[in-house]
Structure 1
Amino acid sequence: MGKVAFLFSGQGAQHPGMGKGLYDREPAVRELMDALDHEMPGLLELCFDGSKEDLQKTENTQPCVFALDLACARALVARGIKPDAVAGFSLGEVAALTFAGALSLSEGFALVRHRGELMAQASEQNPGGMRAVVKLDASTIEELAERAGDCWPVNYNSAQQTSVAGLPEGLERLDVLVREAGGRSLPVKVSGAFHSPLMLPATEGLRAWLSEHPLAPTQTTVIANVTAEPYPVEIAEMNELLASQASHPVRWQQTVEMLVSQGFDSFIECGPGKTLTGLVSRTAPDVWAQPAETPEQLDKVLEHLEGSQA
């Protein structure tokens, strides 16, 4: 049998009712989400009954997605499934680090709430947005973003999809250039220019928080968004890598390629939606990838892994 990776969802994957089925069926999920609802009263109501608009606010999105990311992982572990490595997309990296023991559950939740507030504040200081650009390769998109100005490639999702963040006027110029080049540019449902230089105030705030609450060594390999390599062992380097992630690109395609090159052939998405599952399939069509947000999806994961071990 090959190796198993847990992939933790990021912002943009949220949706009303997320996690309700798993919460109702899985005791491990209830225990974790109830504990986090105690720390942030109203969390469960937001996840299960919140409107799209409520869930799109960064300060709400981040704790809700974090909670469900870890709840899905907790359900898998309770059924005897343990990963050989973990990675998380953007916000999901905090969940991955928490799962791997670099942060306690309470610390990870506090960090993710603080991160959401810092990114919301940075978005108010430097209002911007994001686009997902498809049908063009990354190098072309980098060139177009440079020509447009005031926008930067920030999420290298797959060979044919790169997200760009920036100021509204920069993104409008980019839309025109992308169309002329034969690509498509689609708005991303987030409230800021995440992972761009416009988020440097958030990186500064995270740096300050991590200086008071440093990460601990990980018990499981965690792949970093910024480098697409395992987190280092030096605590100061770990802290800086996580802080800088808010204002640096997410190298997701490279992360998947690196894991596949290391013998990973089963990828389980922990958290809402199936965005990461789709990105894995586009980058590495020969590997198995499956979300685990609903009871039915969790059962499929269990069936596959039990079958591959038989």
Structure 2
Amino acid sequence: MRSSSSSLPTAFCFAGQGSQYYHMAADLLNTDAVFRQWMEIGDRIVQDAQGFSPLAAIHDDARSRADAFDHLEHSHPSLFMVQFAAAKMLQARGLRPDLLVGVSLGEFVAMSLAGMIPFETALKAVADQPKTFRKTCQPGALIAALAPPSIRDASPLLRERTEIAGINAERHCVLACEAENTGAVSDELRRLDTPFQALPVPFAFHSRWIDGAEDTFLQAVSDLRFETPFWPVWSCCLGRPVQAADGPLLWRIVRDRMQLQATFAAIEADGGAHYVDLSPTGTFVAVLRQDLRRSSTSKISPLMSPFGGDLKRLDALCGEKA
């Protein structure tokens, strides 16, 4: 079954670090057997490999949704599992993708769902990444700003202490900086009257401040082997579909700038899509509302939200009665 916009291809969209929160997808876990099955499979894999339970971390009763889910060792595999399980749930209900779109960590989800790398192999690799950054990188930060990338040109402080980690839309970018500069950068954005949000991420991914991890990262993924995808996997690192993957590409996915705007522009130029946002926070909905032209026939459907309503959106998305 395709989306309700039958002339449009269905695009499953997977987000990266920053879109996670405690108790995400709780209603789906408690209600949908397929979603729960994949979460439990992933939980066993991570427990065996890393010695902790992502399910216990996500649904920690001592934490609220307002608390920052920023312990990378926990959030990295948890975010991968939730988005992968959500995609499997939709497929089981008859909604299947024609293409996949991934950004940052979401690209690993998309590759695995497309059959390029087995679920267990991908999840173990993702769960193993945090120790690499912990050993080789200084703490950093990512800050989403409702501003064009040119905001750095307006401020010597931003030019000196930040890099553009991602360009999401004409007026939506992500800044990377060292952790010690987070306060100064935040104060400068306030001075420039720029709305912003610090993401729950402990390192400055997609910037020079993680360059120290490159050799260790490449060594850790040197044995991974990739198959040809059976759905097109659009990479927001490359701004186009992935033709083949290897260790150096995986490094580029975490190191190079995220190019959501350019990627969605290329998909739109190819006729657009029904974008099914499988990020826990509806990341792509906010971005696409800025990116899509008024003349676009594309459709955007979120699934999850920190504010609830996941089951109603699931029923509406799969054509069932809400």
TM range, smaller chain: 0.7 to 0.9
Bigger shift: 109-118 or 174-183?
174-183
**Corresponding position: 1:219 with 2:230:** yes
Is contact 1:101-1:218 (8 Å) kept? Answer: yes
SS of the equivalent of 1:195 reads coil
Aligned to 1:160: 171
How far 1:277 sits from its partner (Å)? 1.7
How far 1:232 sits from its partner (Å)? 2.4
Distance of aligned partners of 1:58 and 1:4 in 2 relative to their CA distance in 1, 3 Å threshold = same
C-alpha RMSD over aligned residues = 2.4
TM-score by length of 1: 0.87
| Matching residue's letter, 2:257 | P
| Matching residue's letter, 1:297 | R
How far 1:296 sits from its partner (Å)? 1.6
How far 1:23 sits from its partner (Å)? 1.8
Paired with 1:145 and 1:86, the residues of 2 have a C-alpha distance of: 38
The residue correspondences of 1:272-283 to structure 2 (distance < 5 A) are 272-283=280-291
**Match of residue 267, structure 1, among 275, 285, 289:** 275
Aligned to 2:316: 300
**Match of residue 194, structure 2, among 183, 197, 222:** 183
**Match of residue 109, structure 1, among 100, 123, 135:** 123
Paired with 1:232 and 1:212, the residues of 2 have a C-alpha distance of: 19
Aligned to 2:209: 198
Structure 1 residues 14-42: Cα deviation after superposition (integer angstroms, max 9, x where no partner): 12211221122222112211111112232
Structure 1 residues 118-170: Cα deviation after superposition (integer angstroms, max 9, x where no partner): 23334xx3222122222x32234367478631321001121111111112455
**Match of residue 14, structure 1, among 6, 15, 20:** 20
Aligned to 2:88: 74
Paired with 2:23 and 2:286, the residues of 1 have a C-alpha distance of: 21
The residue correspondences of 1:122-133 to structure 2 (distance < 5 A) are 122=136, 125-133=137-145
**Corresponding position: 1:88 with 2:102:** yes
Is contact 1:46-1:54 (8 Å) kept? Answer: no
Bigger shift: 216-225 or 50-59?
50-59
SS of the equivalent of 2:289 reads helix
Distance of aligned partners of 1:271 and 1:182 in 2 relative to their CA distance in 1, 3 Å threshold = closer
**Corresponding position: 1:252 with 2:260:** yes
Instruction: Give the structure with the higher percent helix.
Output: 1
Is contact 1:145-1:151 (8 Å) kept? Answer: no
TM-score by length of 2: 0.84
SS of the equivalent of 1:49 reads coil
**Equivalenced residues, count:** 299
How far 1:64 sits from its partner (Å)? 0.6
How far 1:207 sits from its partner (Å)? 1.6
Aligned to 2:59: 48
Paired with 1:261 and 1:182, the residues of 2 have a C-alpha distance of: 34
Aligned to 1:23: 29
| Matching residue's letter, 2:204 | A
Is contact 1:155-1:250 (8 Å) kept? Answer: yes
Distance of aligned partners of 1:256 and 1:47 in 2 relative to their CA distance in 1, 3 Å threshold = same
Distance of aligned partners of 1:82 and 1:202 in 2 relative to their CA distance in 1, 3 Å threshold = farther
| Matching residue's letter, 1:26 | D
Query: Could you list the runs of 5+ residues in structure 2 that have no partner in the other structure?
Result: 1-6, 48-52, 305-309
SS of the equivalent of 1:55 reads coil
Distance of aligned partners of 1:170 and 1:24 in 2 relative to their CA distance in 1, 3 Å threshold = closer
How far 1:249 sits from its partner (Å)? 0.9
